[in-house]
Amino acid sequence: MAMATNENLPPNVIKQLAKELKNLDESPPEGIQVGVNDDDFSIIYADIEGPAGTPYENGVFRMKLLLSHDFPHSPPKGYFLTRIFHPNIASNGEICVNTLKKDWNPSLGLRHVLTVVRCLLIEPFPESALNEQAGKMLLENYEEYARHARIYTGIHAKPKPKFKSGAISESTTALNVDQKSVAVGAAVPVQSPLAPCTTASKGGNSQDQPAAVGPMHETGVSGSVVAPTASTLKKDVGLAKVQADKKKIDARKKSLKRL
């Protein structure tokens, strides 16, 4: 039986993530909605609305950020789960942007990362393309590029079932009950220029990829992305459930102490 990933994250990182996720849920960035499994903070899901005036307009693109055990010292890895025709997003969904590569700073918060990814839909960087076909097309014939991108958007980027509202706030509040305060530096967004990553990774889109291809698998996303515990599903939790929650949190604290 696999251990919950939260047990592999330091207590101060869990506390900081809980704070950030609660803030993102209560005050979401423009065009971005965040979802999370409160048992596994190492995978952050987000639905990004295609910005107006771009070929991605009217589309909803689901993506995920994967946080490693040494986050925030190392950057999260970003992937689009919804198929998209974009120079800086590979066929496997990998996102190539310097904020997630050499320009990463531990003080950058999740809000900054998600905003940068949405900005990439407004201003692609074809010079360092992971999808060479899209990059070449954008440089040589924007209308053709936009047509391809609109086709992908129309086929694949249909609105997704919305994340459960309030699940983040309730689960992260429960997580912090009786938890000793840990001094953590606030994640103050540091402004860095939006730029693509300077090295294209292997396995980018093939040049002869057709405009209409099968959608990426979004397994476990729409149905179980937000998989809160029973205590997060009902706001009128009785005393017995509160006590059960505390036992669960105490068990999590013990597991964290073992690290």
- Identify the pLDDT of residue 252: 54
- Amino acid letter for position 242: V
Question: Residue 164: pLDDT band by 50, 70, 90 thresholds?
Answer: low
Per-residue pLDDT, averaged over 25-42, amounts to 88
Question: Residue 235: pLDDT band by 50, 70, 90 thresholds?
Answer: very low
- Identify the pLDDT of residue 94: 95
Per-residue pLDDT reduced to its tens digit, 61-83 = 999 999 988 889 999 999 999 99
- Identify the pLDDT of residue 138: 95
- Amino acid letter for position 257: K
**How far, in whole angstroms, is CA 248 from its chain's centroid?**
26
pLDDT of 213 strictly over 90: no
- Identify the pLDDT of residue 102: 86
pLDDT of 26 strictly over 60: yes
pLDDT of 253 strictly over 80: no
Instruction: Map tokens 């939006």 to a residue.
Output: 194
Between 123 and 175, the higher pLDDT residue = 123
Joined tokens for residue 158: 């249909």
Tell me the C-alpha distance between 89 and 87, whole Å.
Answer: 6
Q: What mean pLDDT, rounded, does the chain reach?
A: 73
pLDDT of 192 strictly over 70: no
The Cα-based distances of 178 to 174, 181, 228, 232, 243 in angstroms read 9, 9, 20, 17, 12
The three-state secondary structure class of 41 is strand
Per-residue pLDDT, averaged over 136-154, amounts to 96
pLDDT of 209 strictly over 50: no
Per-residue pLDDT reduced to its tens digit, 76-122 = 999 999 999 999 999 999 998 888 888 899 899 999 999 999 999 99
Which residues, 6 or more positions from 97, have their beta carbon under 8 angstroms from its beta carbon?
A: 78, 88, 116, 117, 120, 194, 195, 196, 197
Question: Residue 244: pLDDT band by 50, 70, 90 thresholds?
Answer: low
pLDDT of 231 strictly over 80: no
Q: Shortest CA distance to 42 belongs to which of 68, 7, 12?
A: 68
Between 167 and 62, the higher pLDDT residue = 62
Q: Which residues are catalytic?
A: 96
Tell me the C-alpha distance between 162 and 209, whole Å.
Answer: 30
